[in-house]
A and B are shown apart, each in its own frame.
Chain A
Amino acid sequence: MNILIKNIKVFNPDQKTYAASLHLKDEKVFKIIKNQKETFELSHFDQVIDGKGLYCFPGFIDLHCHLRDPGFEDCETIASGSRAAAAGGFTTVCCMPNTNPVNDHPQITKLIQEKIKHQAVIQVLPIGAISEGLKGERLAQIGLCLEEGIIAISDDGKCISSTAFMQKALAYSKQFDLPVVIHAEHPDLVYDAGIHTGKRASLLGLKGSPALAEEVIVARDIVLAERLKAKLHIAHVSSWQALEHIRRAKERGVSVTAEVCPHHLLLTEKAADDFNTYAKVSPPLRTTKHVEALRKALKQDVIDALASDHAPWSEKYKDLPFQEAHCGINGFETAFSLTYKLVEEKVLTLRELIKKWTTGPAKIFGLPKPEIREKNDANLVLVNLDETYKIDSKKFISKSKNTPFDGTKVSGRIKYTLYKGKVVYDHTTSRSSS
C-alpha cells in the first residue's frame, strides 16, 4: 500500500511547520519530500491525497472516553466508537472501564481486547478498574488486567469516597507504575449529579454538585499521591479551586497530571437551564469564573492535556426528566473544532492546542511521542483550519447524538484521518472505512 499526500503543511508539536509531500508505505511514513518541485509518478500510488490548504498533525490522542462496549451497545460499540473517534482526528483513544460487565477482571480485558482487534479502526487502549465493580471497596485484579494490556486504572464515573481504599489503591498500583486516574467528585457532597450547585440549579429546585465536591477529593488524593509517591492523573478538572491544588502540587514536584474537556472550557451552567439533559454532565458545567481559570491553567500547563470524555448515551438514557437522565456528552466528533475556538479566541496558540491533543496526553500515559517523521507509524490527521461549519449531531458517526453543541458554528474541519498508513476517515465521503 502506497499513499501520497501532496503539498501539505507538516506540523509537529516541537518543530517548525514546513511544506512537504508525504509518501506513506505500508504502516509507516516512508518518505518526507520537502522539495516542492519534485514530480511524482502518480501511478505508483494506490491513493493520492491533495493536501493543498491542509495541515497535517500527528493523530490526536484521547485519554478519556467511553465506548460502552460491552453492555450498552445501543449507545456505542468499539466499532462505532472507534470510527467516530477517527472522524474526530483521533488515532489513539483510551476507554474507561465502566462497561457492563466492568473491566475489573483479566477475562473482561481479554474480551475487550478481542473486540478491539477485530472491530477498531484505530488504536484503542483499555483502562482497567481500580476497584471490583467500581464499588470502591475491593481492589480489582490490576496486575492480571495489566498482563492483558490495560494502560491505566480508573473508577471513572464513580468517585472513590473511602480515603483508606484510595491509599491502598495508590500504594498497590505503584509497583506497576500505572497512572491512577481519578474522578474527583465526593459522593457525599453530590445531591443532584450533572448540574453545578449554585444560583441556577437552586432556581430549578435542584441542589446539584458543588465545586467543593471536586476540590476535597483533588486535595485528598494529591496528599495521598505525594506521601506514597504514586502517579496521579486527575480526569476532567472543572473548578478553579481544584486547579489551585494541582498548581501547588506540581510546584512541589508531586507526580500529578490533569486533563480538561472541551465542554468545561466552553459552556457554563447556563446550558442546563430549562432542564436541558444534554448539558447534564459529571462533573457539571460551572460558571464563567471556572471556565476562565481552566483556560488559563491549560495555557500555563497546570493542565497537561485535553480529553473528550466522549460519553455517548442514546435517547433512552437522555430523553428523561432531568434527575433521571444519565450524565455525559458525546465528544469525539466535536472535540477538535470546539477546542480550536481557543485558538481563534487567542487563548492558545495553534502549537499549544496541538500539544494538548498529542504530546501532552502521550506523556501522561507513557505512550510513544507523537511525531510525523520517517519510519514512524503513519498516524496522521489532515485538517482544514479555515473551513467553517455548523455542528450537526444527525451526521455523527457515533451511535448516540447527545451534544449540547448542536448548531454551534466552528472552524477546523477534519478532512482525513490515517491510522498506520490507512485512511480511516475521509470527510469527502463523510464516512470512515474499516
Chain B
Amino acid sequence: MKHLLGVKDLTPQTIKDILKEAFYFKQLVEKKDSRLKKLLAEQVVANVFFEPSTRTRISFEIAAKKLGASVINVLESASSLDKGETVFDTLLNLEAMGVDLFIIRHSESGMPHYLSRYLKTPILNAGDGSHEHPTQALLDLMTIVEHKKNLKGLKLVIVGDILHSRVARSNIFCLSKLGVRVTLCTFPTLIPKGFSELDLEISYNLQAAVRDADVIMVLRLQKERHQQNDIPSIKEYIKYFQLNTSLKFPSNALIMHPGPVNRNVEMSDDLYSHSQSVVLSQVRNGLPMRMALISIFLQNRFLTHKGKVS
C-alpha cells in the first residue's frame, strides 16, 4: 500500500503491525534514543491543511521533526484554494520541489483518494470531510490497548454527532475489524442513513448505552449543527447526550474524546480531568503513532518486522 487513505482498507494484521510499530516508537521516544533523529534525515514532509487544525497539524509536525525530517506547512484555508483542481496543482508543484511525504487534510470527503490517483508521493490522510481520519483511529486504538488487555467483545459506545464525524467512521472501521462491539448513541438525526444495516447497535438513550460500556468515546459537537436543524439547540443536546458524572457507567470504563473538547457541552468539565478520562493519553499517543506511520509510509517498511506495507 502506497498511501494511508483510510482504515477501511487495512487488514486486521496490518493494523496490528502498525500498532506494534507505534509501541516500538513510543519506547524509543521514552528512551530518547539517538537513532530517531537520523531515521528520516534529509527527508521533507509537507503538512498540507486546507481546513484549520492546530492540534493534528502540530502533532504531525513534531512527529516528523523527531524523526529528523524537515517539515513544511502549507495552510490554505482560503476558499480560493479549496477546489480540487487548485489543490491538485498545489500538490503537483510541491511534489516537483521534492516533497517526500504529504499529510493532507481537506473538508471534502474523498479528496485524498482523488489526489492519490495522480501523485507518486505517499499521502497520509489527516482527515477528509466526514469520511475518514485514520491516524486518529489508530492512536485511539493504541490508547485502548494500553488499558484493555483483550479487544474482542469489548463494548465501545460512540456518543455525539456521528453523521458528520470522520473520527467515528474510522473508529468503527478499525475497532470492528478487531472484534470490538460498537454502539452509536445520539439523536436519530445524527445517525448516518443506512448505518442500521451495519453490524453495530444504535441507541437513543445515553444512560442505557453507557451502563455496561468498556469504552465511551465522546465526539466533538460542531456548534453550527443547530443552525442546520440537526438538533434544535445546544441546550437540548446537552440535556440528552452530554456525558457527565450523573450518569452510571462502569468504574473501569475509559472516557475518550478526539479533541478539542467543548467543555460542558458534549462532556462535563469534571469528566475531562476524571481518573477514567484518557483524553490526554490520546494526545500523547498521537506522537508515536504518527511517527510510526510517517516512517512506515515514507520508507515503505516496518522496523519491527520484515514485511512491506500491504
Contact = CB atoms under 8 A, between A and B. Distances in A.
Contacts of A322: 108-110, 113-114
A200 interface: yes
B228 to A, nearest CB: 10
A321 B8 contact: no
A205 B128 contact: yes
A133 interface: no
Given A205-B130, A205-B166, A324 B108 contact: yes
Given A320-B85, A321-B114, A324-B108, A199 B130 contact: no
B197 interface: yes
A97 B194 CA distance: 35
B194 A201 contact: yes
Given A275-B110, A321-B114, A205 B84 contact: no
Interface residues of A, number: 20
A111 interface: no
A199 B108 contact: no
A321 B113 CA distance: 8
Output the residue of A207, A320, A321, A324 with the most chain B CB within 10 A.
Answer: A321
A203 B8 contact: yes
B188 to A, nearest CB: 14
B148 interface: no
Contacts of A206: 109-110, 129-131
B130 A200 contact: no
B197 A199 contact: yes
Contacts of A199: 193-195, 197-198
B194 A323 contact: no
Contacts of A367: none
Interface residues of B, number: 25
Contacts of B114: 275, 320-322
A197 interface: yes
A321 B193 contact: no
A321 B131 CA distance: 13
B90 to A, nearest CB: 13
A324 B166 CA distance: 19
Nearest to A323: B108
Nearest to B107: A323
A204 B170 CA distance: 11
B209 to A, nearest CB: 20
Nearest to B129: A205
Contacts of B163: 207
A200 B194 CA distance: 8
Contact of A207 (B83, B87, B193): B193
From A202, A206, A274, residue with most partner B Cβ within 10 Å: A202
A210 interface: yes
Contacts of B195: 199, 202
A136 to B, nearest CB: 23
A321 B194 contact: no
Contact of A205 (B85, B87, B109, B193): B109
B110 A323 contact: yes
A120 B166 CA distance: 50
A197 B193 CA distance: 7
Contacts of B110: 204-206, 275, 321-323
Contacts of A198: 193-194
Interface string B71-103: 000000000000111010000000000000000
A208 interface: yes
Nearest to B194: A199
A199 B111 CA distance: 20
Contact of B113 (A202, A203, A274): A274
Contacts of A321: 84, 87, 108, 110-111, 113-114
Nearest to A287: B194
Interface string A302-338: 0000000000000000001111100000000000000
A324 B192 contact: no
Contact of B194 (A202, A205, A274): A202
Nearest to B164: A205
A10 B193 CA distance: 50
Interface string A207-238: 11010000000000000000000000000000
A202 B84 contact: no
Interface in B117-173: 128-132, 163, 166, 169
B109 A210 contact: no
Contacts of A205: 109-110, 128-132, 166, 169
Nearest to B193: A197
A201 B83 CA distance: 21
A324 to B, nearest CB: 5
Contacts of A197: 193-194
Nearest to A192: B109
Nearest to A274: B113
Contacts of A201: 193-194
Contacts of A200: 194
A205 B166 CA distance: 7
Contacts of A207: 163, 192-193
A289 to B, nearest CB: 12
Given A205-B130, A323-B108, A275 B113 contact: yes
Interface in B181-210: 192-195, 197-198
Given A275-B109, A275-B113, 4 more contacts: A199-B194, A202-B194, A321-B108, A321-B113
7 contacts: A199-B195, A204-B109, A320-B114, A322-B108, A323-B109, A323-B110, A324-B108
4 smallest beta-carbon distances between A and B, as pairs: A205-B131, A199-B194, A202-B192, A205-B109
